[in-house]
A and B are shown apart, each in its own frame.
Chain A
Amino acid sequence: MKFQGTVLLVDDEAHIRKFIGLILRQFSIPRLLEASNGEEALEIYSREKPDLVLLDVNMPKMGGLETLKQLRVMNPDCVVVMLTSLATRQTIEEAAELGATNYIRKDTPKEEIAAALQETLEANFDLSEENPPSHEPHP
């Protein structure tokens, strides 16, 4: 079981990107892109068409929910997992309504984050070795 796609990791805090990046290592992701804000995320998304976006909710200027809204305009099928720490139920529900696939609490132990990522990958992608990612890059 292996994820063959590209992941875009969006968080304004460098230490979080480093931490989540290390957790992602165990999934041997072929290509990991990083963005430190919403604008940058949209720019990279339109250029690189990643298969999975891990998106921080709480960012200065363009927050995660607004970024999510615009990502969905670019590609209504994009798979976006929100990264939260103390998000309220309301924020999480709002993200779900905007089309987020799942949310992961980034302040939990790394094993829990890894398990949540594994679950997301299994639920959204065909992980058999022969197949490329099930989500076609958007034209």
Chain B
Amino acid sequence: MDQDLSLPIIDLVGRKILIVDDDRINLRILGGILKTERYNLTLAESGEAALEAYAAQRPDLVLLDVMLPGIDGFEICRRLKATYGADSAPIIFITAKAESDDVVQGLAAGGVDYLPKPFKPKEVVARIRTHLQSRLLVEQQKHLVEQLSKANDAKNRFLGMAAHDLRNPLASIRGLAEFLSDGTVGPLTPDQLDLVTTIHGASQSMLDLVNELLDLATIEAGELKLALEPHDLAALLEKSVFLNNIEAAKKQTKVTFSRTGESPRPTIDQAKIRQVADNLISNAIKFSPPGSTITVEINGGPDGFGFSVKDQGPGIPDSERDKLFKDFGKLSVKPTAGEKSTGLGLAICRKIVDAHSGSIMAQNLPHRGCEFRVTLPCPK
């Protein structure tokens, strides 16, 4: 994302500052220096009074003398941090010039800065402005993050609802088009068949998109629930390969999978991992040139079991690698027969694999094509 580096203008007039010093002359000097800034100043002459005033006022900034009768400045600072945590106002210590140990101790107690006595008016004004601004920026940012997160939830709910209502009509359009094209309701002319096939293809890709949007909305809303049980990985892959070969045959490609040795039984949500396998294999088919082969293999190692899908397609352009697993991250590489892709499939795969505490990665192969590798944690 592009960043705007200029600071937004934040109005500092009327911001509340608590000044704690047992020396009335210091209080008066600081009041005089800050007069033109038009802050809302509260003064306290002891540690106890400071804690009371803080609780009552909730200032935006505290100027705190180190040497106070009773509770000293460091202790006040620690108590404020302990009581108000990350929300507590920034604390600037007031120290005598030579007290460099104080400075270190003050910063360690949670202070953000120090003002050496005697005061230099311009320095005092500048430091206070800077700390007030950064404090207010952090608050603004928190507020923004909250709003964004609410907006994101609303978007997910909307996506969910829209996708829900689109799904049934789309499934019917697809199904009815199929009935027209397979001659169930009578023969069609070649032109009519061409139109109906187009309707079928378009409704199929819309349905895919809607399904993927729904998946994404479910996952993002934190509603992805895994039904975990040990499952025969080879059996799962065999089914996926068998069904995907139907589509592959239409493009004169083929998907091979050979079951060797004993099949691992990782603890997985069978339907979800099947969805990942289907997605990786159908992607490989989409991007493979006619006559090529897609190889599905089981991998096992100390880190866990998994599988890989290798194709002989164009591979992933280096400059686009970081887009690969992101929502709507379509690459410049195009499917070889004009198939549609939503750019959501791999993002969903990654989220499913993440939910399994597994990993998914992609790499280009030395000569041609690329490999997607999924690793699932070892059964305990």
Contact = CB atoms under 8 A, between A and B. Distances in A.
Interface stretch (A2-10, A17-25, A72-80, A119-127): A17-25
Interface stretch (B84-92, B167-175, B316-324): B167-175
Nearest to B169: A15
A106 B171 contact: yes
B168 A13 contact: yes
A96 interface: no
A22 B182 CA distance: 12
Contact of A107 (B171, B178, B184, B185): B171
Given A86-B167, A107-B167, A110-B178, A19 B184 contact: no
Nearest to A56: B168
By size class, the interface of chain B is 10 to 19
A71 B174 CA distance: 32
A106 B168 contact: yes
B185 A22 contact: yes
A76 B179 CA distance: 36
A46 interface: no
Interface string A25-62: 10000000000000000000000000000000000000
Most chain A Cβ neighbours within 10 Å, of B169, B171, B173, B185: B171
Contact of A22 (B167, B169, B179, B214): B179
A68 to B, nearest CB: 20
A107 B211 CA distance: 11
A25 B184 CA distance: 9
Interface residues of A, number: 15
Contacts of A92: none
B176 A107 contact: no
Nearest to B227: A89
Nearest to B178: A110
Contact of B172 (A15, A25, A109): A15
Interface string A89-115: 000000000000000001111100000
B175 A19 contact: yes
A85 interface: yes
B164 interface: yes
A97 B184 CA distance: 37
A86 B175 contact: no
A28 to B, nearest CB: 13
A19 B167 contact: no
A106 B179 CA distance: 15
Given A22-B179, A110-B175, A110-B179, A16 B184 contact: no
8 contacts: A13-B172, A15-B172, A15-B173, A18-B176, A19-B179, A22-B179, A107-B207, A110-B175
Interface of A: 13, 15-16, 18-19, 22-23, 25, 85-86, 106-110
Interface of B: 164, 167-169, 171-173, 175-176, 178-179, 184-185, 207, 214
Given A22-B176, A86-B167, A110-B179, 14 more contacts: A13-B168, A13-B172, A15-B169, A18-B172, A18-B176, A19-B175, A22-B175, A86-B164, A106-B168, A107-B168, A107-B171, A107-B207, A109-B175, A110-B178
